[in-house]
Structure 1
Amino acid sequence: MFHENTTCSRRTALVASELYYWHDTQNWCGSMVPSLTVQPAEHFENPETKRRLQNLVQATGLWEHLSHLRPKRAADEVIRMVHPQSHIDHLASVCERGGGDAGELTPAGPASLEIARLAVGGVIVAMDAVMTGAAENAYVLCRPPGHHALPDLAMGFCLLANAALGIRHVQKTYGLTRIAVVDWDVHHGNGTEAVFLDDPGVLTISLHQDNLFPLDSGGIGVKGAGNSNINVPLPPGSGSGAYREAFEQIVIPALDAFAPELIVLPCGYDASAVDPLGVCMLSSEDFRWMTRQVMTLADKHCQGRIVVTHEGGYSPVYVPYCGLAVLEELSGASDTLPDPYADFIANYGGQALSNDQAAAIKRAKDAHFSS
């Protein structure tokens, strides 16, 4: 047991449930519907990445050093803080007929709406724990993901806007007026952006591969009310150098200026070097480093309050190491597990900041800080 004798300097809560892994994305082939030219296979968003992350946390012994929260089912009145009843009814009808495509590239099974309610409820339970001081920070290991879900459309494997609903709950219940979102999933956090675009009390920051998904989304010109939306589209092939430069030039100054009362991280691991749905090159150490920067700012501005919602990441062999690194950092674990892929990824050509990456980051910085 690697973490058997570890100590943790933070009170970190983990929300996990076997039921999250029962969300059925059916026999699509990656993200394509089977046909006479597309052989049925497994959907990219399947339980394996999340289940293997949970398994690794348990196998290393870190599991015993976290506090564990049970998700609660989110009722319609909670979901209606973001989604109209027509959206809930649509999802219910898809599930009642045995499943199918619930929106744009978003398959669902018979129990998917009920499991999505548990994903939302898990985020709300985590928010309550952090806001009441029962935990300093929390990680929600949920399925289905949420950051692409629009108020009236399931999209990109996401049925309900998990993080956005948690934020609306915090605004309503605790009266917070400054909440920051930092989304480093390789795909643009378009759903979260759409929910809060007219809300200057929520700063939304998305670092993503330029024009990957959704197409024509995530440009630097979308600034939101009070200049509270920041998109950082990074060139394909961006690695450690580009992401750290983006943090130092944009994310850290923006969070410092905003002085949030809570930070929410829609946390996808599909910017990793071995993910099938992106062509960026991050390692687990990069996710650990980004988490550390956010924690420093959270300590400065909001008593360390951070809630992490698990989003994308489609490499079953590597997501567990990235997720473990984030959980180790959140909990302040005295031991860290060596990443068996670390040296391999670190030696990828192009990990250093390139001229085109620096120029893209400067354009995004100028778009926000010069306006």
Structure 2
Amino acid sequence: MSTGFYWDERCFWHAGGNYALTFPLGGLVQPLAAGGLPESPETKRRLRNLMSVTGITEDLAMRSAEMCPRADLERVHPAQYLDKFKEMSDAGGGELGLRTPFAKGGYEIATLSAGLARQALLDVLSGDLDNAYALSRPPGHHCLPDWPNGFCLMANIAIAIEAAKARGLAGRVAVLDWDVHHGNGTEHIFYDRDDVLTISIHQEKNYPLDTGDVADKGRGAGEGFNMNIPLPPGVGHVGYLETMERIVLPALDRYKPDVIIVASGFDAGIYDPIAQMMCTVETFGAMTGQVKDAAERLCDGKLLMVHEGGYSEVYVPFCGHRVLEVLSGSSRTAPDPMAPTVAARQPNDRANAHISALIGEFAGEFGL
């Protein structure tokens, strides 16, 4: 098994300025020392540091990539959007959409983030690697072609998919998004198409507030190829694994993709500050095992995971490390330091029974 890990120090340097998620700064609102951007580099940098400490880097193909070529960016984003982004970036930064602040040089860093995902997918599809993980930052799953939002400035996964398709490397692609927020950008880009299956497991009405309904199943040729699974707050390990077993895995079996891509957000983790789910290190490891088995069964193991959200600087690194352990088959571990506590806080049997009934309703919606 050969697992690639794509990263670049420059992606940690993406900054949003003195920005607050909800409250405007100034007046009686004291400025925040860290700039106020929940999408902090520390969650990713601490994952990368943890990997060095455990030595798992020795079991991975550690790689970087070039900035994504303009031609591949334009397969998803209009030239006018890219030009405006570049102009503002050169002038010192700003904000193009909703909750997407960037500093000087932000365009180049976003282009590099997309380049990591693109190169990782090309290398998996060409057979150079069995599977891969791209530590992309800024993230991408909220970004529409001409409207960035939710910290996402370029649609990293969509850009990678279109680059691969343009080179004849993939026909049918499945995207599983387990970030706690709805993957509205990925959904929008492929909503009319049947060559990309999009599945989003998310906390209902967290972000965005007006997307991610189970009834939104695609349009035209894409009817039935978009699947939203909006779970209520408080779902934990049992509920997420049941969602995978009863909905996601059967959907993948039915679709039979050439490659599976996971939008790997860790904000469904129990300690995330801007979500209310109860997933653990073990949850993310188990889901990785499930999707890895599906990839081996359906598409010769071709699997790419692209980093998205996750805002607990302490907990995200352990979630990410467990994913890499399972993805690569490495025996180097980073045990969950909060394991006894998170186990005690999981939903009880009564809550899990309620969640199971809801998952059954969703499965019926999708004919599974």
Partners of 1:281 and 1:351 lie apart in 2 by 12
1:263 aligns with 2:254: no
Distance (Å, rounded) in 2 between the aligned partners of 1:299 and 1:39: 52
Q: How many Å separate the matches in 2 of 1:144 and 1:107? A: 11
Report the TM-score, using the length of structure 1 for normalisation: 0.94
1:291 correspondence with 2:288: yes
Distance 1:319 1:298, change over 3 A: same
Checking the alignment, whether the CA contact within 8 Å between 1:211 and 1:217 is kept in structure 2 is yes
Counterpart pick for 2:153 among 159, 178, 185: 159
Residue 76 (structure 1) shift: 2.2
**TM-fit CA distance, 1:134:** 1.3
2:29 and 2:152 mapped to 1: Cα distance?
23
**After TM superposition, what 4+ stretches of structure 1 lie above 6 angstroms from structure 2?**
none
Equivalent in the alignment of 2:74:
80
The answer to whether the 8 Å contact 1:235/1:360 transfers is no
Normalising by structure 2, report the TM-score: 0.95
Name the amino acid aligned to 1:341. M
Residue type at the aligned position of 2:363: K
Q: Percent identity?
A: 42
The alpha-carbon deviation at position 354 of structure 1 amounts to 2.5
Alignment partners' CA distance in 1, 2:21 and 2:268: 17
Q: Partner of 2:327 in structure 1?
A: 330
Residues 32, 164 of structure 1: alpha-carbon distance in 2 compared, 3 angstrom cutoff: farther
What is aligned with 2:341? 344
Q: Partners in 2 of 1:25 and 1:327 — Cα distance? A: 28
The match for 1:357 among 355, 358, 362 is 355
Q: Give the AA of the match of 1:364.
A: F
What pairs with 1:9-28 in structure 2 (closer than 5 Å)? 10-28=1-19
Q: CA deviation at 1:69?
A: 1.7
Q: 2:213 aligns with which of 219, 226, 235?
A: 219
What is the alpha-carbon distance in structure 2 between the residues aligned to residue 88 and residue 217 of structure 1? 25
**Contact kept in structure 1, 2:178 and 2:201, CA below 8 Å:** yes
Change (3 A) 1:38 1:102: farther
Counterpart check, 1:246 vs 2:243:
yes
Which residue of 2 is the match for residue 301 of structure 1? 298
**C-alpha separation in 2, matches of 1:174 and 1:207:** 29
What is the aligned residue count?
A: 361
Calculate the aligned-residue CA RMSD, in Å.
1.4
Superposed CA offset, 1:198-220 (max 9, x none) = 11011100000001100121000
Return the match for 2:118 from 117, 124, 128.
Answer: 124
5+ unaligned residues in a row in structure 1: which ranges?
A: 1-9
Contact 1:101–1:108 at 8 Å: present in 2 too? Answer: yes
For residues 280-331 of structure 1, the C-alpha deviation after alignment (integer angstroms, 9 at most, x for no partner) is 0001110000000000010011111111110000000000000000001000
Counterparts in 2 of 1:257 and 1:52: CA distance versus 1, 3 Å: same
Contact 2:173–2:258 under 8 Å retained in 1: yes
Question: Is 1:69–1:125's contact at 8 Å kept on the other side of the alignment?
Answer: no
* Shift, 1:31, TM fit: 5.2
Determine if the alignment matches structure 1 residue 68 to structure 2 residue 59.
no
Aligned to 2:364: 366
1:113 matched to 2:102? The reply is no
Report the Cα offset of residue 142 of structure 1.
Answer: 1.4
Give the 3-state SS of the residue equivalent to 1:227 in structure 2.
coil
Q: CA deviation at 1:365?
A: 1.4
Q: Distance in 2 between matches of 1:366 and 1:250?
A: 9
User: What SS does the corresponding residue of 2:198 show, helix, strand or coil?
Assistant: strand
